[in-house]
Chain A
């Protein structure tokens, strides 16, 4: 079973027929931090030649600011690892392909939310879901609605463009990476884990609660209300707009400043605690 198939089954989809092996495909660069058994299986066959299929990736840009793509580029030289590990078949900012390619792609990375009054956007997200094996809601706008939650229409020259939704309102989403924008390190870790099949790392991103409407209020409803807050201050550090201040050891949250990106509750060590992964850091 190839990497993509195992990924697909991991995300709950059915493995499809083995993707064709491209002779020119280069082996996936080995990630320094993560080594997954799947990769070893790929390397194991008796044949001398290592054959690994690069996943076809489409980068879909909806109502976003391109900051998420910039954040991807902010992985600096590691971007070469990422681009070397995938076959980028569609990305309007970086390549010439004008439309999503015919046939299937393996992974669609979606930046931005969807404007319901823009027919083209609605069509594009539907088409993305039909064509992609996995859909990743990348960044706050796509995953949680983020600043698009405040859109009210009434502006020239499309005053009717008023309703913007995170993509999971229209299609099924396989993984969410919240944050405005997500940190480059997280993006790198995510990409490498996806390519090497590190399901343990990916699990928190695949949780349903990672997507949809989020707000600093999550700290109240998910953490403090459940008597889990211990005042570490991670939420305050993670907030991109400094909407969270620690007062007497608890987050005090400024609703007017919050842009609903979902970073604080995702970063909170009391929403999920990746113990096994943390152990790998202690070498």
Chain B
């Protein structure tokens, strides 16, 4: 169990019913972004909004609460969020940009802050990075195959998707779940060398693993991340619990939420190592330091 560097880990649940209704889990990302916008910590956020194609996310520059809330909920396919960062700074004239993304997108933004040769005057405009836990991602066609061929429901009818408890869940007119194993072959191959599950380079990272339904496991990693979180909690936006409250029975195989997260993290890191070695052996180029 390492989870990268962090100052605090906690379980959070948004109190705002409006957000709770649309959020994937505890509504942490949506609530925090709305709060940061209201307090002037950010003046816009790069989020995964909706497009005309069902369940195909569209990288969106959100500058109002409505736009942020409209982007709530997980879309299990690729949303190239970093592609909009320059537009946010140029066309939208944003000075304090929040980026919400998966671990790989967070390290893309952080690399851009250090080595962004084509990112003039972007580094100082990244005000906040919010990372979402990620085990792997699917291509759009992959996701569609999983839903329409394996779950046997039309993608338009789906209102929520979830991965948890070893299953891929599809909710809507009909609730269906299939074993997660069935979906493995549709995973994006670029994910297989990724060794970051908990968005280790974000200011704040959050996700469902480790907490019960409706809650989010949340790490405050940097000072600015912790400041924002503490203020939001102090202003009564969240119900907060210690991670210790989610302990299983003493004889259970997995003792607590954090243990479960730790197991999955180790699984992802081990898998990345395995794929890294295999690709090297094949003579392919593999990103140095990707295993960190």
Contact = CB atoms under 8 A, between A and B. Distances in A.
Contact of B117 (A179, A222, A233, A275): A179
A233 B139 contact: no
The 7 tightest CB contacts between A and B, nearest first, are A233-B80, A233-B83, A249-B78, A238-B118, A179-B117, A263-B118, A231-B78
A182 B117 contact: yes
Contacts of B140: 248-249
B103 to A, nearest CB: 10
19 contacts: A222-B285, A228-B287, A230-B191, A237-B119, A238-B117, A238-B119, A239-B118, A246-B83, A249-B79, A266-B117, A266-B118, A267-B111, A267-B116, A272-B288, A273-B289, A273-B290, A278-B107, A279-B201, A281-B110
Given A183-B121, A232-B101, A249 B139 contact: yes
Contacts of A239: 118
A278 B119 contact: no
Interface of A: 71, 74, 177-186, 189, 201, 204, 222, 226-234, 236-240, 246, 248-249, 261-264, 266-267, 269-279, 281-283
A3 B140 CA distance: 52
B241 interface: no
Contact of B108 (A185, A228, A269): A269
Contacts of A236: 80, 82-83
Interface in B109-142: 110-124, 137, 139-141
Contacts of A231: 78-80, 137, 188, 190
B263 to A, nearest CB: 23
A270 B284 CA distance: 13
B105 interface: yes
Contacts of A229: 190
A234 B82 contact: yes
B86 A237 contact: yes
Contacts of B77: 249
B60 to A, nearest CB: 12
A201 B115 CA distance: 9
B59 interface: yes
A188 to B, nearest CB: 10
B287 A273 contact: yes
Contacts of B203: 282
B248 interface: no
Interface string B213-242: 000000001110000000000000000000
A276 B110 CA distance: 11
Nearest to B111: A269
Contact of B287 (A201, A233, A272): A272
